[in-house]
Amino acid sequence: MRLLKLAILVTLFTICLFPSGLQARRFARWSTSMGSWTVELYDELVPITVNNFVDLANAGFYNNLIFHRVIDGFMIQDGCPLGTGYGGPGYTITDEFHPDLVHDQAGILAMARTSAPNSAGSQYYITLAPQPHLNGGYAVFGKVLEGLENVLEIGHVPVNVANNKPLTPVTIDTLRILDLIIGDIFPADNLVIGNINESMVFVVEAYAYQSALHFEWSVDGVSQQNADSFIFEPVFTVSGDHVVHCRIYSTDWSHEVSWPVQIGTVGIESDAVSSVVSSLKIAPNPFQGTTTISYDLKQNTPVTINIYDLRGRRIRKQQIESTKSGINQWIWDGRNGADNRVAAGMYLIQIKADGFSRFKKCSVY
C-alpha cells in the first residue's frame, strides 16, 4: 500500500484525511483439494476487474474447476470451465492497471488473458514468486493474505511437461466472496499528530450483508470498553508515541487497522495539512427539522455528501456536481435515501471531494 508521508492534524470531531491507495477491500476464500487460502480484492482501484470476479464467484462459476496450468516458481492458473486454458465466461473485460498494484511477491492475484489487449474474462493466476516483467501487461487485483503455503505447495505438483497441466487434478471445491467489505479508513495509514486532551476521531467504514459486524478498539494494547462502533473518539492525556488499533470482524473474516499517533503538549500546525475541503460546519446542531451543511472548497469540484449512522451504515448519499470555490451549502431534511425521516440520534456527515474528506458529527432529536 502506498503510504503518504504526511502528518494529519485531527481537530475536535472533524478529521481531514488523505487518500491512501487501497481504501476499499473485499475478501475471497478458496477451498481446494490442496487446502484453502484467503485473498484481499482491491475493488477501489480496479473496480471492473474485481466486480467481474465477484459476480462470477457469487454465481458459482469457479466451483469444481481445476488449476489447468501450473509452473513451479512462476504461477498457478485457473478459471477455464473447459480445463484446457481456452475457455471463458463468454465475454471479455477491459484491462485495468494501477501503479500501486504490481507483481512484487508471491501470492499476487491477476487476470490471465491472450496476447490481445482487453481479452481477459474469467481466467486468473496467482504468482509463486515476484514477476516484475508482467507489470503493465496483466491486471493485478488482489493478494493472498492467509494460506500462501498452500498456493506454493500447488506449484510443486507433477505436471505434464507439454502443457503444464497437473497429472493429478487440483480442484477448487468452492471459491466464495466473504461477508465483509472494508471501505474508507480515516485517517489513512499515516502518522497521526494531536495534542494532550484533544478529542480525536478514527473511522473504519465496513459492511456485511448477512453477518453482524463487530469493532474492537484498543489504545497502546489496552482494550477500550464500550467501543463497538465504526467511529472511535479517544482523548490522550499523556504526550508521546501511541498506537490506536481496530479489529473489525464478521462471522466470515476479520481485518485489522493500526495508526501510529504522536501526542504533543502544544498546538500543532503544519503546512502539509491541506485539503480540497478546508472546513465543514453544520447548523443548527442538534436539529429537529432541517440543518444546513456548509463546506469551504479550495476549488470548483464535484462533491459527495455521505451520511452514516453510528453502526457505519450509510443512510444517504448526495452527489453535488455544481459547486464553486469558497463556501457551499446543502440542506439536509433529516431524511434517508428512501425519503423516510431518520430516527433521533447521532450521525456522521462526510464531505468527500477529489479524494479528500472531512467528517463531522451531528445530532437529530
Q: How do residues 110-128 score in pLDDT, each as one tens digit?
A: 999 999 999 999 999 999 9
- Compute the 3-state secondary structure of the chain and give helix, strand, coil in percent, each to the nearest 5: 5, 45, 50
In the structure, what pLDDT confidence band is assigned to residue 360 with cuts at 50, 70 and 90?
confident
Q: Which of 17, 89, 24 is nearest to 60 (CA)?
A: 89
Q: What is residue 81's predicted lDDT score, i.e. its pLDDT?
A: 98
- The Cα 118–Cα 97 span in angstroms is 11
Q: Which of 131, 137, 132 is nearest to 155 (CA)?
A: 131
What the chain holds in terms of domains, given with CATH numbers, is 8-18+187-264 (2.60.40.10), 27-177 (2.40.100.10), 277-364 (2.60.40.1930)
- The Cα 351–Cα 359 span in angstroms is 7
Look up the pTM and report it: 0.73
Q: Say yes or no to pLDDT of 151 above 70.
A: yes
Q: What is residue 11's predicted lDDT score, i.e. its pLDDT?
A: 28
Contact 76/127 with Cβ under 8 angstroms? no
Q: What is residue 3's predicted lDDT score, i.e. its pLDDT?
A: 28
Instruction: Give per-residue pLDDT as tens, 89-111.
Output: 999 999 999 999 999 999 999 99
In the structure, what pLDDT confidence band is assigned to residue 188 with cuts at 50, 70 and 90?
low
| DSSP state string for 292-330 | EEEEEESS---EEEEEEETTS-EEEEEEE----SEEEEE
C-alpha separations of 48 from 63, 93, 97 in Å: 21, 8, 11
- The Cα 202–Cα 186 span in angstroms is 6
Q: What is residue 132's predicted lDDT score, i.e. its pLDDT?
A: 98
In the structure, what pLDDT confidence band is assigned to residue 24 with cuts at 50, 70 and 90?
low
Q: What is residue 22's predicted lDDT score, i.e. its pLDDT?
A: 40
C-alpha separations of 347 from 80, 228, 291, 332 in Å: 47, 15, 13, 12
> What is the DSSP code (8-state) at residue 117?
T
As a whole number, mean pLDDT of residues 323-333 equals 94
Provide the mean pLDDT of the chain. 88
As a whole number, mean pLDDT of residues 35-61 equals 96
Polymer length of the chain: 365
- The Cα 168–Cα 224 span in angstroms is 51
Q: Say yes or no to pLDDT of 15 above 50.
A: no
Contact 331/316 with Cβ under 8 angstroms? no
